Amino acid sequence: MNRRDFIEAASLTALASSPVARAAAPAAKPLRLGVIGAGSRGQEDMRQFLRVPGVSISAICDIYPSRTEQVRQLVGHDVPATTSYAELLSRHDVDAVLIASPVGCHAEHIIAAARSGRPIFGEKALGFTVEQNHNIVDEVERAGVLFQIGHEYRYASWVKESVRRIQHGDIGKPTHIYAYWNRNNDWRRAVPSPDPGRKLEHLINWRLYRDTSGGLGTELGSHHIDIANWIFGEQPESVLGTSSVCVYHDGRTVGDNVQLVFNYSQGRRLMFSSLTDNAKNGNELWVYGTEGSAQITIEDATFYYEKKLSNQPTADKPTSKTIVERGVVTGASYSTGGEMPYRGVGERVNTGSSSDPTLESIRSFVEAVRGEHAVVADLHVGFRSGIACSVAHDAVFAEQRMSIPQYRGNGGAEAKTT
Ligand SMILES: NC(=O)c1ccc[n+]([C@@H]2O[C@H](COP(=O)([O-])OP(=O)(O)OC[C@H]3O[C@@H](n4cnc5c(N)ncnc54)[C@H](O)[C@@H]3O)[C@@H](O)[C@H]2O)c1
């Protein structure tokens, strides 16, 4: 449990146990969840779902048997388990479906859940291939079901406030975004032995193989792509990419580092870089505008403002006469003053709230299912990052600039944050 979780849990416990809350709180409308893919993220999502009043877990579908016991421990009682998603979807006690299977399974699972008529919380990335991203949108729209994508940073108070300020011109025109997600570990999960045919290796370490994973660009970069789409108000038009296996020569077929450049209209760009052998920079995103910069991390955000440039000579800006007198003939090499404008503390974004973004996104999903408001991170938000991930995955192997298609049907445009 991190600091934010601890504070959140302590305040929820205090609130729920106060006599006033017990007496006044109306019973929340029940929402019974069926889960497809009950691994690491599925269990974290379930943990957060269970913090929302009225939510219970009816059943899980997973093809790895140990998940049944893990979910029993998490939920506190036995939960019916099946390896067949069709069986899970045929149950009468499932009101909504959480899908947290590997990305290569999303299309099959989302489309089946949509056809069953239930609201869906689908983990990112939307689909694995370009075709799957289109098919998912087609089918979910045809079924007319509510869909939310697992882009939880759309619900983080400091990210929302930063995007609002950027869209209102706080740092001038945002032109470039440099995003990093760096770690110092091999991204590998332990596999029980024996493992005949390496089946468990592929089930558990699906992220490391090109035919089941979009690699670091999809698994980590999808969040940054989504934030860039939000800030720029559109999806990228094309992507250039490269990656290599630099340190972990263990048979993986995706890179242990990646560099991607996404091109947006008007020459604007997102550069995403991920290393797994050096954690410096961690997970952060810098938005560069013509009048300042915003640094958005997974915990906070800070704004820095550019000093206004002027053509008038000032005390620290030499005239051509002083340059000549001092024997320096080019303004460019005369003074390094002003070349490090970001040294300094910056201005921290203060939203007064530090609630867990995953909890906030799940709470918002439950409210949307209950008809209280529309979905924020909706199907087209998922499409615009998912399609960029799918093309980027191809681009790193082709090492060529590749076009990113728009949704082939009628897509909703990115809404401006108010
Ligand atoms: N929103 C976020 O911040 C976030 C964070 C982590 C992971 N994710 C996403 O969540 C998804 C799952 O990631 P994870 O880390 O939990 O992976 P995981 O391997 O831990 O869990 C996936 C689970 O799906 C099961 N599974 C595989 N194939 C299946 C099938 N055909 N039918 C039913 N179950 C099947 C596996 O046995 C496993 O238990 C991925 O799409 C990932 O990108 C999102």
Dihedral (Cα; 45, 190, 218, 260), 10-degree rounding: 140
In a domain? residue 264: yes
In a domain? residue 374: no
Residue 103 and residue 17 share a domain: yes
Residue 255 and residue 331 share a domain: no
In a domain? residue 362: no
| pTM, full prediction | 0.90
In a domain? residue 291: yes
Residue 133 and residue 222 share a domain: no
pLDDT in the model for residue 414: 77
Domain with 326, as residue range(s), is 314-338
Candidates 176, 182, 382, 183; CA nearest to 262 is: 176
185 neighbors 276 (Cβ within 8 angstroms)? yes
Does ligand 1 lie within 6 Å of residue 203's CB atom?
yes
414: which residues sit within 8 A by CB, 6+ positions away? 229, 230, 232, 233, 234, 235, 381, 384
Q: How far is the CA of 315 from the centre of ligand 1 (A)?
A: 59
Residue 170 and residue 193 share a domain: yes
pLDDT in the model for residue 7: 41
Does ligand 1 lie within 6 Å of residue 101's CB atom?
yes
Residue 266 and residue 389 share a domain: yes
In a domain? residue 321: yes
In a domain? residue 368: no
pLDDT in the model for residue 404: 98
pLDDT in the model for residue 304: 92
Candidates 414, 390, 394, 362; CA nearest to 136 is: 390
For residue 354, the 8-state DSSP code is: -
Residue 264 and residue 213 share a domain: yes
Does ligand 1 lie within 6 Å of residue 217's CB atom?
no
Q: How far is the CA of 82 from the centre of ligand 1 (A)?
A: 16
Q: How far is the CA of 99 from the centre of ligand 1 (A)?
A: 8
Residue 257 and residue 216 share a domain: yes
Q: What is the block-wise mean pLDDT of the chain (418 residues), using blocks of 10 residues?
A: 42 43 70 98 98 98 98 98 98 98 98 98 98 98 98 97 97 98 97 96 98 98 98 98 98 98 98 97 96 95 79 51 49 54 78 89 98 98 98 96 94 67
Q: How far is the CA of 167 from the centre of ligand 1 (A)?
A: 34
In a domain? residue 9: yes
Residue 236 and residue 176 share a domain: yes
The total domain count for the chain is 3
In a domain? residue 409: no
Residue 167 and residue 117 share a domain: no
Q: How far is the CA of 74 from the centre of ligand 1 (A)?
A: 17
Residue 82 and residue 14 share a domain: yes
Residue 105 and residue 34 share a domain: yes
Does ligand 1 lie within 6 Å of residue 226's CB atom?
no
Residue 248 and residue 385 share a domain: yes
